[in-house]
């Protein structure tokens, strides 16, 4: 029943989309005749209502799919394939867009919703463009609804519904996956709005005002793409366990390409609004942004581009290819027909070394970047056509081609505010020269001193430092100028600046974020470190200034997977940092998911992956990855989003709304920051960490069960065997007879045994001691005081402390009598 309703809703919304396009077109036709203007208005109003209706219907269809997931309607094939009864509710929600059919439905809904908002809330200036915009947007919606309905139907019913679904792909079981696809789709879908407005502007020849009409939508789409890409990067870093965040995969590139052209468009629109030309260029960027969205969808779903990450080959390719050809052909022909109206009215007045020149170069570079990445994604096809052999562009290819282009862009970020406008620019340049030279020197010197010595990376650091100093100077100068006028406190002045000039300072914040990200990208891409090591339990190894000790392997069965994790203690020199727990989950059906553990730091992240182990867990293989400066990338990403959000936020008259919006924005940023740096990411601190062999054993005073107290200091001159155990722990009591035997052997040879119980109570300990005949002194560690100081990760653990009070041996897990004897004999010699 649910499935049938969904199908019905999709069918009706397709009809309504087509009707909306027709009604708007009819209204436009009638408006040309003065006599029929009333009828024209009726048609246009009807079209508008139809646009609202299609958004409501598609919203209902999406809601129905959501209900089908939440209430386990496995008779719907899509639900059966992407959900199961056991997965938690938040995953059932994200499962709605986990596959092609559902994600297309989400796409349709967002498309219709944006169309309704864009046409319904168009500003006064954009009103005249709305009828044609409605035609284009409704046709685009109709296309996507038709594709969903006929080719990739989410409500297909199974004749024999299974009892349970196949479950959600474990890799997608991550909270970030709730937000990543919708954010990206907001970007993709949002780009249809500027496109439709641009086409309307071309048809009606109202060229000047259209960039203002689309500003908000361009920013929304741009920010959505940026957020989606960043979330995807972080998801890859947290979940996929290959240590990286960006692999230049065609699917990733599909999101990056429209982001490039939209960034170019945002800059070009500024120029156009300042009446400085760039008309044709902006039109081209709008058209290509939309075409690239279609291309991305086509490329990742048609199988034309080889990618292991792509959706499986589906029959959508041909339809999307047709859509791309129609879009590009139609819009470029229209552009050509209107070339006279687009002719720049303002001639170029300034030289290349000016604000205009920098904007021109920015647009040029984003265009070449787009072409470069497009060529890279298509390289196998292109080289086959030209040379008969297929070449594939790997990450090295992309890094090499795009790296210099990004570097020049960062340079321009720094140059642009310095150059400013007109004659004043020169004075400004003179005033700020030491600031920017200082920035260009400080960053590479600081980097050089902390171990970054590659010449190209130092050039990159210098450029970043230069651009960072120039951008920060903008903030400082803005605050100073304002204070001269208003006498506000510095922070207040900064706040007012951000509040009143959102676009300008939002833009500069974005630039700062990009500069920080550049530092992270230079660090991770130019100083990669990765090695594979196999360690036996208890064995330590030195890697990049860290000492890693593989303590033990643990395993547990959780829900529908088998989790195995390793405890790896991390020390820098003698100082305990943390214990990392890289994990590998094996799901029923043999799919595995690695859960890397990471120790974040400003200079680098230590990133540990458990890649394999021997059957009994005595040895394990790890991949150790050190990601240099990667946190600058994430921090820059947050600042980037903050700046974009600031630029996007509309001017609200109500103070309350501004405060609410500001608080929500801040809370989201803090939430993201907390998710990245506040959450443990597989890192657990066990008290002060286990003392290393050779280190002084931490002193403690322990009340013994048979009265009296003892401390480790009192035992100086003797060898002390300190055993941590509990009466409730089976493997602890298992080793007790062995301990007692050895104790009896060495009692008179200067060896003391000491049992310390962990989270236990007196009566059960006493009965255990009686049961196993233990006679050496035992005391209770109340409040985990001692276990914390010894960094106990699990009991039993045994420490042997030599006569000088230093740790001579550590054993994790039950110890055998023979092993203990060997150690003691060696010490007694």
Partner 1 sequence: MQNKTSFIVAGLLVVGAMIYLIVSSTGSTAQYFLTVEEILAMDDEAMQRNITVSGAVLGETIVYDALAPRVTFTILNVPADPQEVERRGGLARVLHDAVQDPIGARLEVVYNGVKPDLLQNEAQAIVRGKMAMDGRLYADEVLLKCPSRYEEEIPTQVDD
93-122 residues near partner 1, rule: CB under 8 A? 98-100, 103
What element of type H or E holds 494?
helix 490-500
- Determine which residue in the list 372, 442, 496, 658 makes contact with partner 1, applying CB under 8 A: 372
Counting residues that bind partner 1 (by CB under 8 A) gives 74
- Determine which residue in the list 124, 590, 616, 748 makes contact with partner 1, applying CB under 8 A: 590
What the block records as the tokens of 422 is 């007109």
| Strands 619-628, 683-684: pairing kind | unpaired
**Cα angle, residue 391 at apex, residues 385 and 394 outer, rounded to 5°:** 140
Burial 385-405 (b: 16+ CB within 10 A, else e): eeeeeeeebeeebbeebbeee
Please tell me whether residue 302 binds partner 1 under the rule CB under 8 A: yes
* Cβ-contact 558, 578 below 8 angstroms: no
Please tell me whether residue 786 binds partner 1 under the rule CB under 8 A: no
CB of 122 to partner 1, least distance (A): 33
Phi, psi of 330 (to 5 degrees): -60, -50
Phi, psi of 9 (to 5 degrees): -60, -40
> HEC string of 337-377?
HCHHHHCCCCCCCCCCCCHHHHHHHHHHHHHHHHHHHHHHH
- Determine which residue in the list 329, 589, 671, 680 makes contact with partner 1, applying CB under 8 A: 589
- Determine which residue in the list 46, 161, 179, 242 makes contact with partner 1, applying CB under 8 A: 242
DSSP secondary structure letters along 700-736: -EEEBTTSSEEETGGGTTSEEEEEEE-TT-HHHHHHH
Nearest CB to partner 1, comparing residues 312 and 656: 312
CB of 181 to partner 1, least distance (A): 7
- Determine which residue in the list 236, 293, 577, 736 makes contact with partner 1, applying CB under 8 A: 236
661 CB burial (10 A radius; 0-12, 13-18, 19+): middle
Nearest CB to partner 1, comparing residues 623 and 809: 623
What the block records as the tokens of 366 is 């984003």
Segment contacting partner 1 by CB under 8 A, of 420-428, 479-487, 586-594, 713-721: 586-594
Please tell me whether residue 244 binds partner 1 under the rule CB under 8 A: yes
650 CB burial (10 A radius; 0-12, 13-18, 19+): exposed
Taking only Cα atoms into account, the Rg of the chain, rounded to an integer number of angstroms, comes to 33
Nearest CB to partner 1, comparing residues 412 and 815: 412
Stretch 592-631: interaction string toward partner 1, x if CB under 8 A: x------------------xx-x----x-x----------
Please tell me whether residue 350 binds partner 1 under the rule CB under 8 A: yes
Segment contacting partner 1 by CB under 8 A, of 18-26, 92-100, 105-113, 571-579: 92-100
Cα–Cα dist 434/471, whole Å: 14
Cα–Cα dist 514/736, whole Å: 60
Please tell me whether residue 304 binds partner 1 under the rule CB under 8 A: yes
Nearest CB to partner 1, comparing residues 209 and 395: 395
- Determine which residue in the list 313, 480, 660, 826 makes contact with partner 1, applying CB under 8 A: 313
Segment contacting partner 1 by CB under 8 A, of 368-376, 412-420, 427-435, 650-658: 368-376
Q: Which of residues 530-549 bind partner 1 (CB under 8 A)?
A: 532, 534
Cα–Cα dist 425/661, whole Å: 36
CB of 378 to partner 1, least distance (A): 11
Segment contacting partner 1 by CB under 8 A, of 30-38, 136-144, 209-217, 299-307: 299-307
Q: Which of residues 375-414 bind partner 1 (CB under 8 A)?
A: 375-376, 379-380, 383, 389-394, 396-397, 400-401, 404-405
Total Cβ atoms within 10 A of residue 669: 15
Please tell me whether residue 364 binds partner 1 under the rule CB under 8 A: yes
307 CB burial (10 A radius; 0-12, 13-18, 19+): middle
- Determine which residue in the list 122, 365, 608, 697 makes contact with partner 1, applying CB under 8 A: 365
Query: Taking Cα atoms as reference points, which of 614, 632, 611, 631 lies closest to residue 531?
Result: 611
Nearest CB to partner 1, comparing residues 288 and 799: 288
Nearest CB to partner 1, comparing residues 22 and 242: 242
Nearest CB to partner 1, comparing residues 147 and 754: 147
Cα–Cα dist 328/321, whole Å: 11
Please tell me whether residue 343 binds partner 1 under the rule CB under 8 A: no
Please tell me whether residue 235 binds partner 1 under the rule CB under 8 A: yes
Cα–Cα dist 145/584, whole Å: 40
Burial 260-294 (b: 16+ CB within 10 A, else e): bbbbbbbbbbbbbeeebbbbbbbbbbbbbbbbbbb
Q: Which of residues 148-177 bind partner 1 (CB under 8 A)?
A: 166, 169, 171-172
CB of 250 to partner 1, least distance (A): 10
């Amino acid at each position: 029943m649910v499935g049938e309703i969904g199908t019905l809703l999709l069918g009706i919304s397709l009809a309504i989309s087509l009707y909306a396009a027709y009604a708007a077109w009819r209204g436009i036709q009638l408006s040309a005749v003065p006599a029929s203007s009333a009828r024209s208005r009726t048609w246009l109003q009807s079209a508008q209502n139809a646009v609202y209706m299609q958004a409501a219907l598609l919203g209902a269809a999406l809601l129905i799919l959501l209900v089908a997931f939440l209430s386990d309607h496995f008779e719907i094939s899509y639900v059966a394939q992407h959900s199961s009864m056991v997965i938690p509710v938040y995953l059932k929600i994200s499962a709605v867009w986990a596959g092609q059919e559902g994600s297309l439905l989400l796409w349709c809904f967002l498309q219709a919703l944006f169309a309704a908002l864009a046409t319904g809330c168009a500003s006064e200036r954009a009103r005249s463009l709305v009828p044609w915009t409605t035609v284009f947007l409704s046709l685009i919606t109709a296309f996507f609804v038709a594709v969903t309905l006929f080719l990739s139907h989410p409500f297909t019913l199974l004749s024999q519904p299974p009892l349970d679904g196949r479950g959600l792909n474990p890799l997608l079981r991550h909270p970030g996956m709730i937000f990543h696809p919708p954010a990206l789709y907001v970007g993709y879908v949002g780009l249809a709005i500027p496109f439709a407005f641009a086409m309307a502007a071309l048809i009606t020849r109202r060229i000047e005002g259209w960039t203002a009409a689309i500003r908000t939508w361009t920013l929304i789409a741009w920010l959505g793409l940026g957020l989606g890409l960043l979330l995807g990067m972080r998801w890859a870093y947290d979940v996929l366990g290959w240590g990286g965040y960006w692999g230049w995969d065609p699917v990733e590139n599909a999101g990056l390409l429209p982001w490039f052209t939209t960034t170019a468009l945002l800059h070009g629109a500024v120029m156009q609004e300042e009446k400085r030309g760039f008309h044709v260029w902006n039109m081209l960027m709008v058209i290509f942004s939309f075409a690239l969205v279609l291309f991305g969808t086509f490329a990742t779903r048609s199988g034309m581009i080889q990618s292991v990450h792509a959706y499986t080959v589906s029959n959508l390719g041909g339809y999307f290819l047709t859509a791309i050809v129609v879009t590009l052909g139609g819009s470029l022909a229209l552009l050509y027909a209107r070339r006279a109206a687009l002719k720049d009215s303002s001639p170029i007045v300034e030289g290349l070394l000016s604000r205009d020149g920098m904007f021109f170069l920015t647009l040029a570079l984003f265009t070449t970047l787009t072409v470069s990445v497009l060529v890279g994604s298509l390289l196998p096809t292109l080289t086959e056509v030209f040379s008969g052999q297929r070449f594939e562009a790997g990450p090295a290819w992309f890094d090499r081609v795009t790296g210099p282009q990004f570097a020049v862009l960062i340079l321009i970020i720094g140059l642009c505010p310095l150059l400013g406008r007109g004659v004043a620019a020169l004075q400004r340049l003179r005033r700020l020269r030491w600031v920017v030279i200082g920035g260009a020197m400080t960053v590479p010197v600081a980097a050089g001193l902390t171990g970054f010595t590659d010449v190209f990376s130092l050039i990159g650091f210098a450029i970043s430092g230069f651009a960072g100093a120039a951008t920060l100077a903008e903030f400082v100068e803005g605050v100073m100028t304002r204070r001269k006028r208003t006498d506000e406190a510095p922070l207040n002045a900064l706040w007012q600046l951000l509040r009143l000039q959102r676009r300008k300072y939002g833009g500069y914040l974005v630039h700062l974020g990009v500069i920080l990200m550049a530092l992270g990208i230079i660090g991770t891409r130019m100083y990669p470190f990765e090695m594979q090591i196999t360690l036996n339990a208890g064995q330590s190894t030195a890697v990049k200034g860290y000492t890693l000790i593989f303590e033990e392997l643990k395993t547990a069965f959780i829900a529908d997977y088998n989790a195995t994790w390793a405890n790896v203690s991390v020390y820098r020199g003698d100082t305990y940092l943390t214990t990392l727990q890289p994990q590998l989950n094996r799901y029923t059906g043999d799919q595995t998911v690695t859960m890397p553990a990471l120790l974040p730091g400003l200079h680098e992240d230590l990133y540990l992956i458990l890649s394999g182990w021997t059957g009994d867990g005595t040895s394990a293989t790890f991949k150790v990855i050190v990601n240099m400066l990667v946190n600058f990338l994430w921090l820059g990403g947050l600042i980037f989003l903050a700046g974009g959000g600031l630029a996007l936020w509309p001017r609200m008259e109500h103070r309350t709304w501004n405060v609410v919006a500001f608080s929500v924005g801040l809370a989201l940023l803090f939430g993201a920051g907390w998710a990245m740096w506040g959450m443990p990411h597989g890192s657990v601190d066990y008290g002060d960490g286990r003392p290393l062999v050779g280190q002084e054993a931490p002193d403690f005073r322990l009340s013994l069960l048979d009265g009296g107290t003892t401390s480790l200091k009192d035992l100086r001159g003797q060898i002390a065997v300190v055993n941590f155990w509990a009466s409730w722990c089976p493997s602890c009591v298992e080793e007790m007879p062995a301990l007692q035997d050895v104790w009896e052997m060495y009692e008179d040879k200067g060896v003391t045994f000491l049992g310390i119980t962990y989270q236990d109570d007196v009566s059960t300990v006493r009965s255990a001691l009686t049961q196993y005949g233990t006679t050496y002194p035992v005391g209770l560690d109340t409040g985990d005081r001692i276990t914390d100081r010894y960094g106990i990760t699990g009991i039993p653990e045994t420490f042997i402390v030599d006569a000088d009070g230093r740790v001579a041996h550590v054993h994790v897990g039950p110890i055998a009598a023979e092993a203990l004897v060997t150690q003691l004999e060696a010490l007694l010699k």
